């Protein structure tokens, strides 16, 4: 069978965008930067401070820095607040849905709690955070009104030989995207934690509670809005904490579950047990939170 070339996706570079010029393009729109964080006291403060100084005080591009603390056992909340972020506890947001744990749960709650028309999400474990990460993510949305979702990509110098993708990306996400969602094969890093979107689009899709959220959002946004409404942006290089393989296998399972449940909804359930010789069995759950437009009392919908 002849290989099908991947769909062309609009790709930008963060350096194309001048923060001061973007302020002019921004107009009355509100921009929120949200950081999901769990036990990230070592890095979250520097990230918040960098955004605050460069993109609020020096150039008024960002209106809100929101850290949603996902049940941290360290000083994440205090460090983030001292650096200038608004800090909320995940269990205090939409408590009627339960305390909830996991990255996707935290993203969903940050979308609910933030006030931005444009939301940019960044991981809180980055060690060399550059304000151009945020500029690059929101830039395409500010200069192109037809875009609703922008995904980040970057080099990973902390993993020599890995290219632009991490281990879960190269061994799980990229193969399953190529097999089941080939129209998304042009996405360089489907599991990147840096992305941005318009609230009016993000509130229309569900959020997987755990690590499947990155791929789930990508698939769902493409399905609902089409690739013409999406782009990716090269953010340069990014250094973050590397996890051991035994911590990556649950993440890989969630990514696989999320993809399979979208490709064949009746194939597997939202919960599975990961069995690893020498370790205790681990329940892996990809339960989803509903689109925010379906949450009673949510009033931000512009649909």
Let me know if residue 270 belongs to a domain: yes
Let me know if residue 181 belongs to a domain: yes
Q: What is the pLDDT of residue 224?
A: 97
Let me know if residue 5 belongs to a domain: no
Largest pairwise CA distance in the chain? 58
The tokens for 211 are: 């690590």
Let me know if residue 131 belongs to a domain: yes
187-216 residue pLDDT tens: 999 999 999 999 999 999 999 998 999 999
In degrees and rounded to multiples of 5, residue 288 shows phi and psi of -115, 145
- CATH code of residue 133: 3.90.550.10
Structural domains of the chain, count: 1
Q: Where are the alpha helices (DSSP H) in the chain?
A: 19-26, 44-52, 76-83, 103-113, 132-143, 167-168, 174-180, 199-202, 213-225, 245-263
Let me know if residue 95 belongs to a domain: yes
Q: How confident is the model at residue 249 (pLDDT cuts 50, 70, 90)?
A: confident
Let me know if residue 36 belongs to a domain: yes
Give the domain range for residue 220.
10-239+246-291
Q: What is the DSSP letter of 2?
A: P
Is residue 107's pLDDT more than 70? yes
Let me know if residue 1 belongs to a domain: no
Q: How confident is the model at residue 241 (pLDDT cuts 50, 70, 90)?
A: low
Interstrand relation of 118-121 and 195-198 (parallel, antiparallel or unpaired)? antiparallel
Let me know if residue 157 belongs to a domain: yes
19-53 residue pLDDT tens: 999 999 999 999 999 999 999 999 999 999 999 99
- The whole-number average pLDDT for the span 159-180 is 80
- The whole-number average pLDDT for the span 89-101 is 88
């Amino acid at each position: 069978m002849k290989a099908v070339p991947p769909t062309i996706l609009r790709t930008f570079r963060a350096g194309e965008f001048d923060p001061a010029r973007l302020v002019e393009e921004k107009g009355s729109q509100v921009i929120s930067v949200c950081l999901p964080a769990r036990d990230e006291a070592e890095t979250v403060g520097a990230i918040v401070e960098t955004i605050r100084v460069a993109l609020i005080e020096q150039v008024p591009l960002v209106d809100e820095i929101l850290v949603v603390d996902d049940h941290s056992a360290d000083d994440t909340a205090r460090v983030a607040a001292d650096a200038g972020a608004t800090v909320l506890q995940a269990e205090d947001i939409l408590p009627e849905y339960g305390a909830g744990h996991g990255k996707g749960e935290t993203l969903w709650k940050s979308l609910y709690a933030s006030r931005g028309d444009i939301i940019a999400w960044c991981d809180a474990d980055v060690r060399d955070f550059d304000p151009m990460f945020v500029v690059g993510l929101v830039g395409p949305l500010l200069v192109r009104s037809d875009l609703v979702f922008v995904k980040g990509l970057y080099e990973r110098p902390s993993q020599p030989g890995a290219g632009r993708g991490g281990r879960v990306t190269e061994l799980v996400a990229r193969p399953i995207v190529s097999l089941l969602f080939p129209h998304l094969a042009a996405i360089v890093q489907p599991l990147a934690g840096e992305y941005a979107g318009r609230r009016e689009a993000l509130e229309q899709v569900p959020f997987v509670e755990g690590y499947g959220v990155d791929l789930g959002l990508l698939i769902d946004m493409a399905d609902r809005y089409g690739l013409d409404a999406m782009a990716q942006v090269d953010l340069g290089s990014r250094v973050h904490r590397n996890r051991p393989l035994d911590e990556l296998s649950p993440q890989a399972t969630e990514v696989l579950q999320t993809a399979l449940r979208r490709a064949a909804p009746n194939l597997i359930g939202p919960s599975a047990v990961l069995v690893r010789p020498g370790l205790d069995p681990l329940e892996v759950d990809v339960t989803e939170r509903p689109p925010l437009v379906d949450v009673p009392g949510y009033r931000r919908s512009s649909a």
